[in-house]
Structure 1
């Protein structure tokens, strides 16, 4: 949760930085000449690419089906233009390094080195670890409620936010899954799935923050709070995917939802007597410090680990603490409800 909260604060800043830096590398005349030559000849130096024998749809013009590019290569959409840009970028960066110049961005991205066709291997691996951490947290929460804490006579948990946290866990795992896919290969489809998953998680997290912090237990009241927010988030996701993928508008929406829920949790942590409120503060403050990596945005070390990848690394322990707080909250509320029953 914390990663989606704090990124909302700095998303606009990072976006503007990327806009200003996006054309530094690809505006280089030597890079442009290399790409143009590669697209004509299919080669960069002594490296030649079979992709350049195929158009962007993966099939040779007027060719039989058996000359089509294999599906296992086509799914990543590494076409002639992508390979030309990638290897021209690598060669140009070697030349810049020999001259003592630092890396620059190409088409809005730092010069990463592929590993088995994976575009940003460190971010993919760390997104996968975050996914594993979310699964571990959700599974331990499930085990706690169903096997360690007392249950009602109807075999349901006393904790009144069980279903909501289960949904949150599934949305979190979904978000990190598409984050890993997006960092593996940045194309239009993976970008939309990653952004849509993040917005869905942010929207539901806002609902959850309101319901838990204000201790909304009545089902009708929960529906009244959730319905307009669910409608807005759904409409926003449909707008991004089927009408216009507006980065600026999406950033504003994420900022509002992120700031709102962060303030709710922070204020609740300050006024509540919850025994594990220190964990909530740790997540809030730690997440804020971790986001300094996103502001700094340094180029990838050895072409693999950049500031964004390190930010993904910091969210792993914070996610563990967050799920620990959720489990403590379940134990705390269950104990209070049992006291009232007795």
Structure 2
């Protein structure tokens, strides 16, 4: 039987042999299709964090286990005594600094970290390569942050989405003409505003999860990615098929929203079925990528090159999730590099959205041209 850990590996229970897998899937949209899909897939390949707590090569090492037992008894690893164990070398209690209290580090997790650092120093001095401990690569903490590089890149993705969403808002309300009722001419403004908020939420929880990997932060990161992935599919359908009537939008969105909500509730309250969730995420991700790619070609959208660039680049970036490697200098691994690659793709994606808003607005205002619907059934548009 194979059980999986919360990061990027699965392990055989019988002999504790590590099998490399991808980390997490990312958010489908299309650059967020890659992001959300990666969060779902890698989380599925990884499985729940509490299943394979002792199934990696590193934590199977006898000297590492001996260090853990000793640390949990006396609260020290070598000359380093851990505040969360409330013990010093002379028996007096210790108080942890505020930045170590917030991420919910406890005696056991602190012992695991410091024993891992000690063991990796021994391995490095003997010329051995890093190995995983409890399903995760040996990262170096910074102010209690578990994976500082991934946190930084997640924060930059969040900032890039905020910049894109804000510039989109300014474009609609301050640069493009408005209707007499002060509403934008662009039919899909509200959909993209909600998309921006969901993207911000998803990247926020990604940063929190990489700061401290516990069951709660994993679920919030996980479910936020699923919600964004599902909503991105809805937007791709509504935009590609040019669904503008509110009643029609409700008819299209309601079944998908009901399915996404039920799916999250099922995973959270009934069974955390990673295999089923992987199928759901892959299906939604591939569907919207195909919809966007085909629509860009059939509609002849002037900014289709940007759209295709995001789709192709996002797919190539996902190879980083497959090619798993240990963190360079203890900070940057394949997953962190993947987070970095999505930053420019996010900028390009919002650039496409703004181009679409400008195009639709200008066509609606230009009485000399017939307004094309840019649906996948329309003829190619000639500017």
- Give the TM-score, by structure 2 length: 0.81
Q: Is the 8 A contact 1:2 1:315 kept in 2?
A: no
Q: Is the counterpart of residue 5 in structure 1 residue 38 in structure 2?
A: no
Q: Is the counterpart of residue 152 in structure 1 residue 152 in structure 2?
A: no
Q: Which residue of 1 aligns with 2:257?
A: 230
Cα separation, 1, equivalents of 2:55 and 2:274: 15
With over 3 angstroms needed to count, the CA separation of the structure-2 counterparts of 1:13 and 1:51, relative to structure 1, is: closer
Q: Which residue of 1 aligns with 2:320?
A: 293
With over 3 angstroms needed to count, the CA separation of the structure-2 counterparts of 1:180 and 1:93, relative to structure 1, is: same
Q: Is the 8 A contact 1:4 1:258 kept in 2?
A: no
With over 3 angstroms needed to count, the CA separation of the structure-2 counterparts of 1:278 and 1:177, relative to structure 1, is: same
Cα separation, 1, equivalents of 2:39 and 2:126: 33
With over 3 angstroms needed to count, the CA separation of the structure-2 counterparts of 1:200 and 1:9, relative to structure 1, is: closer
Q: Is the counterpart of residue 274 in structure 1 residue 301 in structure 2?
A: yes
Q: Is the 8 A contact 2:240 2:291 kept in 1?
A: yes
Q: Which residue of 1 aligns with 2:58?
A: 25
| Aligned counterparts, 1:134-213, within 5 A | 134-213=161-240
Cα separation, 2, equivalents of 1:131 and 1:271: 32
Which residue, out of 67, 78, 82, partners 1:34? 67
Which residue, out of 46, 53, 62, partners 2:79? 46
Q: Is the 8 A contact 1:122 1:309 kept in 2?
A: yes
Cα displacement (A) at 1:4? 3.6
Cα displacement (A) at 1:239? 2.1
Query: Hey, which of these two has a bigger chunk of helix by percent?
Result: 1
Cα separation, 2, equivalents of 1:10 and 1:219: 31
Q: Is the counterpart of residue 252 in structure 1 residue 285 in structure 2?
A: no
Number of matched residues? 330
Local SS of the residue matching 1:26: helix
Q: Is the 8 A contact 2:151 2:208 kept in 1?
A: yes
Question: C-alpha deviations, 1:1-57, integer Å up to 9, x for none?
Answer: 3344235379647854788x9522111222111111111111111111121138xxx
Cα separation, 1, equivalents of 2:251 and 2:159: 34
Q: Is the counterpart of residue 97 in structure 1 residue 130 in structure 2?
A: no
RMSD between aligned alpha carbons? 2.3
Cα separation, 2, equivalents of 1:27 and 1:140: 51
Q: Is the 8 A contact 1:158 1:337 kept in 2?
A: yes
Cα displacement (A) at 1:110? 0.6
Structure 2 residues without counterparts, runs of 5 or longer: 1-28, 88-92, 370-383
Q: Which residue of 2 aligns with 1:78?
A: 105
Cα separation, 1, equivalents of 2:359 and 2:95: 61
Q: Is the 8 A contact 1:9 1:255 kept in 2?
A: no
Q: Which residue of 1 aligns with 2:248?
A: 221
Cα displacement (A) at 1:73? 4.2
With over 3 angstroms needed to count, the CA separation of the structure-2 counterparts of 1:39 and 1:122, relative to structure 1, is: same
Q: Is the 8 A contact 2:289 2:311 kept in 1?
A: yes
With over 3 angstroms needed to count, the CA separation of the structure-2 counterparts of 1:78 and 1:10, relative to structure 1, is: closer
Question: C-alpha deviations, 1:184-223, integer Å up to 9, x for none?
Answer: 0111111111011101100100000000011111211111
Cα displacement (A) at 1:230? 0.5
Q: Which residue of 1 aligns with 2:289?
A: 262
Q: Is the 8 A contact 1:9 1:259 kept in 2?
A: no
Structure 1 residues without counterparts, runs of 5 or longer: 55-65
Q: Is the 8 A contact 1:279 1:325 kept in 2?
A: yes
